[in-house]
Structure 1
Amino acid sequence: MTPNAASASSGPSRRSFLASTAVATAAVAGGMPLLAACGGSESGSRDGTTSGKDAKKILPAFVANNVVTPDIPSKNGSAVGFYNKLDPAGLKTSVPKKLGKGGKVTVMSPFWGSPPKGDNPYYTAMNDLTGVDVVWQNQDGNTYDQKLGAVLASSSIPDVVVVPGWNMGGKIPSAILSKFADLGPYLSGDAVKEYPNLAAIPTDAWQRSIFGGKLRALPMPSSYVANIVPFYRKDLFEKEGYAVPKTTDEFVALAKEITNAKAKVWACGDMKWTAFNSFGVPSGGEKPLGWIVQDGKLVNRIELDAYLEALEWSRKLFEAGYVHPDFKLGKSQAVDPSTKFAAGEFLIYNNDISSWWGQQASQAAQNPEFQIWGMDILSHGGADPVIYATQPANIFAFVNKKASEAVIRDVLAVANATAAPYGTKEYMLTNYGVEGTHYTVKDGVPTKNDKGNQEVANAFLMIASPAATIAHPDLPDVTKGAVEWQQRMGAFTKKSAFYGMQITEPSRWTNLSNDFEQLEDDIVRGRKKIGDMQAAVSDWKKKGGDQLRDWYQKLLDENGTAAG
């Protein structure tokens, strides 16, 4: 991918966004657990839980796109992978003719950094490609939820509004139902075939785009395989003769072997996220995903013995002194581990899969021996891990309910171009800009220049994107490693009861579980005890948890599950 693009660790809001999109890495990997604390993570409404027969009437037909053949096809929910050198002369065409009719479309979208001028070469080239005059109303991504609320409460709403999943708190879900158009007449069933690249978007991502019983959004698809990888220093493991652990017990034994505080070397960072996956705890990234059916009854992740066991295992790593001291300072996601990991102060940590390429690329010049790699999710108790799926889409583009058919058709024309697969002219223009102006290709590796990094960002790919893609011709081993990791972990991945659904909990229970993430981190660091969590769970039940369970059960009874 782009060797000089911004890494996924360049600031909390930026990091959260990049971890969920293709902007820096073309690795659409889904939201980090951090997103649960980024201003709300539920969306839609009770009616938006459409599934089963009702959903089949709404969903677009799936038609695989055969314009480009990936070097590694998707398997077990993984992204597709491309690692071969890019040949600019061999790029395919997936949009043979302009579908736009020359109309003007306004788009409001979050932007991180300084937005480019409206007449820049990138915007001009994209408008020429699509046949649509797209006018951007970029807003500061760090305060986007505030702007979003104000705009949706007004009478002046742009033609297209991009809404990240982590901004769907408060009154946003109800505004989505009242302010945005039903795209079903244009995309449901065979109608989508008029837009071949949209027809190739995975069905799960479209399922996630159903709000209030109608197809209201264009999605940015992501792999549903857990995106938090236990990374390790492969070069140092090989140098020291360390065996990669396969179980939680082996991990603890290795941590003891590695740690030498006097030499300022520790085994790991905070491994809580990996512990949850290893012990079979449902995702905490979004509230509906935390519910599973166990012995015929809905159970929340915080009620599981595995939840406490994962916290206790993580706590023991801290207590034994195996965790780098920096991680004791606060919440695990508040620590940027890249510098000290690269310096060899600790050898294992967990982070979003997008950082695999970012870390390796950033060390290429000054530390050529450096090699980051991903270990498989650890097994526990002699059984294979049970990993719970994340959501198959996390960023959405909506069309104003007042938009004319001509405007909607122009929006879909743009989306059909931006959803083009890697290896096409449309993908390169959408993600890299104009060759020679925004990027160059040397030895089969496209590299953005400063103008490319400034202008070709946070824009057209927000309207719609292709199936999850990992493409790094500069680091082919990383591409293979990341996709194959997803494929192996995907074999152990299970979809929970409300996977892929858009759900907003009743407001009276919105804050019911707000304090649990902080309590988790306090327990892991020894500031609180497991008993404190048990007490918190008991309070949760009394204050509405049991009622919330009944509410979810009714949803499940009425709508069934979208999990396959």
Structure 2
Amino acid sequence: MTSPRPIGRRRFLSGAVTAAAATAAGPALLAGCTSETAAPNTGANNANVTLPAYKPFAGVTPDFPGNADGLLDAFSGYPANPVKVFSAPPGKGGDVSAFVLTGSPVPPAADQNPFWQELNKRLGVNLKLTITPSADHATKFAALVAGDDLPDFIVPAMFTPAGQGAGIGNLPAWLAAKCQDLTEFLSGDAVLEYPHLANLPTAAWRQCVYNGGIYGLPVPRGVGGTLLFRRDDLFAQLKANPDPASFAEFKEVCKQVTDARASRWAATEGGLMFFVQQMLGVPNRWRYEGGKLTHACETEEFRRALGEVVQLVKDGYAHPDSAIANAPVKKWFNAGNIVLNPDRYTAWPQYYADNVAGPGFKISGMRPPKFDGGGFAGTWQSDPTNNFTAFKKADKGRIKDLLVIANWLATPFGTDEWLFRRFGMAGQHYAMSNGGPVQTQAGVTQTVLGIRYIVDAPDAIFVPGDAEATRASYEYQKSIIPSSVKDPTLGYFSDAWSRKRPALDNVINTYQGDVLAGRKPLSAWDDAVKEWRAAGGDEVRGQYEEQLGKA
């Protein structure tokens, strides 16, 4: 199934990953993980937590300002003389360890990596990173937990609002037993001791609250979420309508841009499913009405979307290799083999960096029209937190030392520290071009250490060296955010979801794939919903409804 929010390259969550974690960890891995001091993980206890005070960084002025609805600040270029926030390294020497993951090839080790060596100098510590490819992450994390050999910073892929610790058992109990409650260090004005952590938006911190306390640092992202990227250069070349006003017009667009002899199709099966769902108003994971939750897969809108996409696939508008595991959809999009592709807004600069089409390459987002016309449909909001990082339990002095390191890692856009963290050293890892850093091959291979998943500054819209693309990204987000749809369960925890998500995803993914491939009729979707409910869907629903009702 293409979930209500397709998973982008920066989310690192899939049924395969969480299923692997569940297999490796085992259901009893965390049995007995309790804490005598932690409060119960109830909605009331969590609602009473005083979140960190918010004090935004005032060091740079955006060219296009964001707003309180979640629109991000946008910058046409990087400041010519970025402010250097730190006059000395924040660390006190010694080792600081972190378990992180990467969707990129694993970079060279520290002794062969000039960027890593310079990072250690600027931090004032020996940063010992366990960098794990996302495909191996779940198994290695399970082994880490089973061996009780935790690093200072714990950055598992499943510590996300959507994943909720899937694959490791009872997440709140595990956090209480093994990880540091950071409330006394970060709650309210206490966070002002770490000004760059105080610069993180309040919404991002809500996903770090468990057991009546703050149990991690967030990696914030904008709520713009996943969009259907469009190859504007190819649309212009093919004289195709870039803004269809209904499903009927969208279907005509798919027909016009598809040419199998030229190895070009409209999108993947998943891309078509993503877009048609939004046209029909399929909910963002859940719909909450009258005190009752309905999952997206249970709605008539979803069933209708599946039927429409089955026909689009039969008509030949989907890439024929759409269903293969780990299909290289980004490469297909950049090469023009597909002209539409769903991806998170954060992919906008990466597409330009990976451009193989030459100077005419141009992309933007296609807004979903209402199925029968009459305006635009609502897009799905993304979670304001990409993931969060827990701390291994330690004495107060050690925790404060780690928070000082984290404060440096969260220095915002426009600073010298941010530029170094993302792009490395000038002349060696990047060169400035048209007001933006362009990485060398050394920069591409050496800088992907995964440190931005420990903690990160608030996101900003910025396509290096391309002010026009930056403006296009900003205008797209500005257009969709006011009508975007939030997941009503965001901020609530379901123990059943954290344990059973792999099995639930597998039911839906398997049936959807079978229906799209023609192995099962559309009527089989009734069986999919029954299996999903029996496998834990009803249990998850009940846990969320109880919390929503009390709220």
Normalised by the length of structure 2, the TM-score is 0.84
The equivalent of 1:231 in structure 2 is 229
Aligned counterpart, 2:471: 480
Q: Is the 8 A contact 2:76 2:462 kept in 1?
A: yes
CA deviation map 1:256-288 (0-9, x unaligned): 3444556655433321112222222234xxxxx
Cα distance in 2 between the residues matched to 1:500 and 1:508: 17
Give the Cα separation in 1 of the matches to 2:234 and 2:497: 50
Secondary structure at the aligned position of 1:58 is classed as: coil
Q: State whether structure 2 residue 479 is matched by structure 1 residue 494.
A: no
> 2:181 touches 2:214 (CA, 8 Å); kept in 1?
yes
Q: Are 2:128 and 1:135 aligned?
A: yes
Residue among 77, 81, 84 paired with 2:74: 81
Q: CA deviation at 1:383?
A: 5.5
The change in CA–CA distance for 1:224 and 1:165 in structure 2 (over 3 A counts) is farther
Which of the residues 141, 145, 157 maps onto 2:150?
157
CA distance in 1, matches of 2:9, 2:313: 26
- When residues 125 and 368 of structure 1 are mapped into structure 2, their CA distance, relative to the original with a 3 A threshold, is closer
Q: Pick one of 336, 340, 352 that aligns with 1:348.
A: 340
Q: Does 1:272 align with 2:304?
A: no
The 3 A distance-change label for structure 1 pair 39 and 217 is same
In structure 2, C-alpha distance between the alignment counterparts of 1:171 and 1:544, rounded to whole Å: 17
Query: In structure 1, what is the Cα distance between the partners aligned to 2:220 and 2:452?
Result: 11
Once residues 195 and 246 of structure 2 are traced to their aligned partners in structure 1, the CA distance between those partners, rounded to angstroms, is 44
The 8 Å contact of residues 49 and 212 in structure 2, kept in 1 or not, is answered as no
Question: CA distance change for structure 1 residues 18 and 120 in 2, over 3 Å: closer, same or farther?
Answer: farther
Q: CA RMSD in A?
A: 3.3
Quote the offset at 1:316 in angstroms: 1.8
Q: Which residue of 2 aligns with 1:176?
A: 175
Distance 1:126 1:326, change over 3 A: closer
Pair 1:51–1:221, CA change in 2 (3 A): farther
User: Which residue of structure 2 aligns with residue 4 of structure 1?
Assistant: none
CA 165–79 in structure 1, closer or farther in 2 if over 3 Å, else same: farther
Name the aligned partner's letter for residue 290 of structure 2: D
Letter in 1 for 2:542: D
Is contact 2:106-2:448 (8 Å) kept?
A: no
Q: Determine the structure 2 residue equivalent to 1:147.
A: 140
How many Å separate the matches in 1 of 2:41 and 2:384? 15
Gaps of 5+ in 2: 1-5, 23-29
Aligned letter for 2:82?
L
Distance, in Å, in 2 between the alignment partners of 1:360 and 1:448 is 12
Q: CA deviation at 1:218?
A: 1.1
Call closer, same or farther: CA 1:544–1:141 in 2, change over 3 Å.
Answer: closer
C-alpha distance 396-383 of structure 1, shift in aligned 2 (>3 A): same
Residue in structure 1 matched with residue 457 of structure 2 by the alignment: 466
Matched AA of 1:230: L
Taking a change above 3 Å as real, the CA distance of residues 37 and 292 of structure 1, as seen in their structure-2 partners, is farther
SS at 1:351 equivalent: strand
Question: For residues 39 and 548 of structure 2, what CA distance do their matches in structure 1 show?
Answer: 12
1:414 aligns to what?
405
Task: Give the distance between the partners of 2:180 and 2:459, measured in 1 at CA.
Answer: 26
What secondary structure is seen at the aligned counterpart in 2 of 1:398?
Answer: strand
2:430 corresponds to: 439
Asked if structure 2 preserves the Cα contact closer than 8 Å seen for 1:48 and 1:214, the reply is no
Worse-matched range after superposition: 254-263 or 304-313: 254-263
Match of residue 553 from structure 1: 545
Q: Is 2:524 the partner of 1:525?
A: no
Name the SS for the 2:14 alignment partner: helix
Q: Look up the match of 1:106.
A: 97
SS in 2 for 1:446: strand
TM-aligned CA deviation for residue 307 of structure 1:
0.9
Question: How far off its partner does 1:160 sit?
Answer: 1.9
Deviations along 1:424-458, one digit per CA (max 9) or x if unpaired, are 01101222223334333344332333333333222
User: Is the contact between residue 103 and residue 133 of structure 1 (CA under 8 Å) also seen in structure 2?
Assistant: yes
Where in structure 2 are the equivalents of 1:243-322 lying within 5 Å?
243-244=241-242, 245-261=244-260, 265-270=264-269, 271-283=272-284, 290-322=285-317
Instruction: Report deviation, 1:497.
Output: 2.0
Counterparts in 2 of 1:388 and 1:337: CA distance versus 1, 3 Å = closer
| Equivalent AA in structure 2 for residue 479 of structure 1 | T
Quick one: which of 31, 39, 50 aligns to 2:18? 39
Structure 1 residue ranges without an equivalent (≥5): 1-15, 21-30, 284-289
Deviation at 1:341, TM superposition (A): 4.2
**2:360 alignment partner in structure 1:** 369
Q: Distance in 2 between matches of 1:476 and 1:186?
A: 40
Is the deviation greater in 537-546 or in 174-183? 537-546
Distance 2:500 2:423 in 1: 44
Contact map agreement 1:104 1:133 (CA 8 A) in 2: yes
- Structure 1 residue 206 and structure 2 residue 205: aligned? yes
Query: Residues 483 and 37 from structure 1, CA distance in 2 versus in 1: closer, same or farther, beyond 3 angstroms?
Result: farther
| Counterpart in the other structure of 1:242 | 240
**Kindly, what percent of the aligned residue pairs are identical?**
27
Alpha-carbon distance in 1 for matches of 2:262, 2:468: 32
2:221 aligned residue:
222
Q: Does 1:450 align with 2:441?
A: yes
Compute the TM-score of the two structures, normalised by the length of structure 1.
0.82
Shift of residue 537, structure 1, vs aligned partner: 1.2
Give distance in 1, aligned partners of 2:149 and 2:383.
Answer: 31
Q: Distance in 1 between matches of 2:348 and 2:497?
A: 38
Deviations 1:242-269 (CA, angstroms, capped at 9, x unpaired): 2221322210122234445566554333
The alpha-carbon distance between structure 1 residues 500 and 246, as it changes in their structure 2 partners (threshold 3 A), is farther
State the Cα deviation string for residues 168-223 of structure 1 (Å, max 9, x = none).
Answer: 32225243331100111111100011111111111111111113332111111112
Distance 1:102 1:163 in 2: 25
CA distance in 2, matches of 1:515, 1:80: 40
The counterpart of 1:324, out of the listed 319, 336, 359, is: 319
Distance 2:497 2:193 in 1: 38
* AA in 1 matched with 2:139: Q
Aligned residues: 519
